Structure 1
Amino acid sequence: MATDQPAPALKEIFNAERLQHIATEMSAVYPEFDARTFLRMANDGLAEQSIMQRMARVSECLHATLPLSYEASLEVLRALAPRLNSAFVSVSLPHYVATYGSNAFEPSMAALKYFTTFGSAEFAIRHFLRSDFERTLAVMHDWSLDANEHVRRLASEGCRPRLPWSFRLERIQADPRLAAVILDNLKADDSLYVRKSVANHLNDITKDHPDWVLDLIEGWSLDNKHTAWIARHALRSLIKQGNQRALAIIGASGKAEVEIIGVNVTPTVIALGEKITLSFTVKSTVESSQRLVIDYAIDYVKANGGTSAKVFKLKALTLPGGASETVSRSQSIKELTTRRHYAGRHAVHVLVNGERLASSYFDILP
């Protein structure tokens, strides 16, 4: 049944019911656990906390109510991990390691390797990279060869220079060669979960060292379908920018010899929360086939009346000589945590191989 009720906030992953679940499962694996104190502390001020604050609070409250040594506490938390009913809630366990395990390197590395199979230890491992870079990175090199896809993914995701929701790793941001062995070990991984991480890691690097990434991928054999997949997704930001080397890697080099016919945005006037549909036809103007990357950009109106462009991927295709291809895409124009929308005229541009070839518009009502 359709509903107009908004989706629960992401932070509600850690609601009172979930905290009770954690307390119940802790009591099952450690009967002496002070569940009452844990719940009182964890629920205090819960409504005002963000999701990451709630995640950290769980590990802090576990620490406060576990009267054990660090190593003994890890054994209890190892027993707890498979009993938790949310992968993201499991992230509180690696957070425990990052917060309280800095003086026990080897037990902490073993714990993170174990805990990452239930959620992810990508945030926690970064604290060890900051405090003991060489030793931690050496462990992550070994993880990149592990049989478990979650562990291999941690090797790449944990050392991303610009991991969302975490601090930047300045050393790797300045010199991506430091993590290059990990990326090379994973460049043909058969796990999509791992490949997405490798592609995102490389896409992070393109923000600071685009030529380094291009040099690296140009040296890869893209005959392997997994490596080719990583290359396409790693270069997505450069492709949206029309970078000719990136376009050449995916076989879409050079100016697109096409015309755009009948570009149209409907409806042209919308209220916030409604959808627009962009449609147009791409027609070849040459006799030979072309590899095309088609994107579109929206010039979003800002609070000050200016605009800020956001590029969206649309499709890649091989267009035979003289042929036409009709393209259509719908998009909801609604509020996001990462974007506010403002009334006014929003230009929409069709990009082919990075070049703007046609435009239209829609208006958002006040």
Structure 2
Amino acid sequence: MTHDHGTPPVRVGVLGAASIAWRRVVPAMTACPDVDVVAVASRDPRRARRFADRFGCAAVTGYEALLERTDIEAVYVPLPAALHHTWAARALAAGRHVLIEKPMATTAEEARELTALAESRGLVLRENFMFLHHPRHRAVTELLRDGRIGRLRMLHASFCVPPLPPDDIRYTLGLGGGALLDTGVYPLRTAVHFLGRGLRVTGATLRTRPRDGLDLSGQVLLAADSGVLASLDFGFEHGYGARYALWGDRARLTADQTVSPPAELRTQLRIEEQDREERLLLPPADQFLACVTEFAAAIRGPVASRGTGRDPWHADAVATLELVDAVRERAVRVPCEGDGPQNA
């Protein structure tokens, strides 16, 4: 998207000096002509200053102080999951558009409250699932629509990463830690993306830390209203892997590196039939830049489209967290004695 010089860039404040903001999102914002990063807030003045020095913006101590600034119209929230609802609600109440790290909240009820608040105030609220902005997934949708793999029967999706550093906040139960809310929401969101919102959890297993029940990995089985089945894997205990496969009655389509492919990478899709295999090479794409560009476009787009209660991004965020809630309720928990950091 080229910047319309008659439209000023969206003035954004970053609420929290998180790693994902430093590595991925704020660099994408500074590369986007439609966004102007005005300030970064942290409870630690040194962290705020480090961001400010790198990205050429103001350093703010404390999150409330950021929301009090009059030169910010949108807020990016990369805080731990348990803080998403509180600070997104405060930002929306302060009249700011919000881009919030995934998942939008820790429960479907929290997500419903946030989407209702955004709609009631005519504000843009987006969940930062960056992978959905990679054009490869549109290509997959078109192949499905064209019948390339026949009638869809199954979806398999996985996102697993190696164990995290012992002091990582994702090992802290009180901050919304655990694999389900971190890596698990990716395959769940993939299922919602391709199969729609009418999904039921038909089975789930979570490997948990005995001393506090924190989930370190898991599996989920889903059934769509259409009869398509899905099996999902996620966790903090594996060699890195991020992929999905859509299996039809004619062929199987597989995509690898589905969560955060490098912007310069030419991604590929593999289509396997009984007696032949086809590989489709797709052009590189920067999903991080595409995500922040879309957020800015939604803010600068028609205000009349907001507050309708029909925003598909909102509905999909709620549907994904409804699945999270159902997994928590239905999961068989398998204690994994001795696994996971002991000093987290």
* Bigger proportion of residues as helix: 1
Report the structure number with the largest CA radius of gyration. 1
The answer to whether the superposition gives a TM-score over 0.5 is: no
* Bigger proportion of residues as strand: 2
Q: Which has the higher contact order (CA 8 A, sep 6+)?
A: 2
